[in-house]
Structure 1
Amino acid sequence: MAKPDLKFRTLTTEHFLVHYHVGEEEVADHVAMLAERAYYADLDGAQITIDRDTETSAMEPPTRSVTR
């Protein structure tokens, strides 16, 4: 259940928006670093297509298809 008293911020990277609540800046920085690293990762022939801009959370997987 959502807590209305939480204050949220957004960390913007070159390819991602990381939404987090105040007090979790260290976690947001880490997630942003991992996301950017994954964006540039060599996936050994895997093709990932992100078919639209999506906003997601840890509770909701991103919309994408993976083909090997």
Structure 2
Amino acid sequence: MAVGWLGWPPDLAWRTPLPELFLAVDARIEWAQMTNPFGTKGGVQKEKPKPSTVAEKLRQVLTGKRAA
């Protein structure tokens, strides 16, 4: 994910702690939403997800564990 989607070099990706990686992914998602030239469907923006929510979902995918 860090090398492909974020475009980081492999050595940086391996040295980055997971919390920083999750923050970078959250920022990338937010940036992609803000720079979307087509806007949101219907012109109504939905509530911005909390960074901890996005990070938690990614953590669940990477670890294979479900939230309690």
Q: What is the TM-score with the length of structure 1 in the denominator?
A: 0.33
Q: Which has the higher contact order (CA 8 A, sep 6+)?
A: 2
> Structure 1 or 2: larger strand share?
1
Pick the structure with more helix per residue: 2
Normalised by the length of structure 2, the TM-score is 0.33
